[in-house]
Amino acid sequence: MGELIGNFIVPLLLIAIGWIAGRAAEGRHFRSLARRERDLAHMFLSDIKTFPGGADATKHAAFVMGEAVIASDYLKTFLAGLRKLVGGELHSYESLMNRARREATLRMLEDAHRRGYNAVCNMRLGSADIGGMTGSKGAAMVEVFATGTAYSIPADAGE
């Protein structure tokens, strides 16, 4: 009986604890992202290259950026490895990319806001695999970086 517990139940219990802790951490991160997105909803964000509206905002423009590295837990990485055997979507990695993309964008907007700007144009996103997602043995991690040009739009610009 002791051997059964050591060989089967303990690893299963550790997997369950890891799954619960991972879900809780991911849920906290999604709630944090939603709260911060609401806080920065007043900021203008665009991927167009030039400042919209015809105003000369280039005098006080600044480069802003944000980056995030988000790691997957080993359980998700293991399950994704099993999924790769039969093919199909890897929803756990989609969640990983979604979180990293939103976090990097928010950090860029927070950088602009801290520096007194209320708009970011020419926003660009880039990503890099940092072990795991393209075949290495480690846990999957992804880096996403967001860059843009920050401007201050006058309050009456939308009128």
Give yes or no for residue 124 having a pLDDT over 80: yes
Do 149 and 118 meet the contact criterion of CB atoms below 8 Å apart? no
Percent of the chain with pLDDT over 70: 82
User: What's the mean per-residue pLDDT of the chain?
Assistant: 83
- The domain in which residue 135 lies consists of 2-151
Write down the pLDDT at residue 6.
66
Residue 60 lies in a domain: yes
Give yes or no for residue 30 having a pLDDT over 90: yes
Using CA atoms, how far apart are residues 94 and 76, in angstroms rounded to an integer? 11
| CATH code for the domain of 137 | 3.30.110.70
Residue 42 lies in a domain: yes
Residue 156 lies in a domain: no
Residue 157 lies in a domain: no
Write down the pLDDT at residue 138.
61
Using CA atoms, how far apart are residues 74 and 67, in angstroms rounded to an integer? 23
Residue 159 lies in a domain: no
Question: Minimal CA–CA distance to 77: which of 25, 24, 136?
Answer: 136
Domain count, the chain: 1
Residue 92 lies in a domain: yes
Write down the pLDDT at residue 137.
60
Q: Do β-strands 119-129 and 44-45 pair in parallel, antiparallel, or remain unpaired?
A: parallel
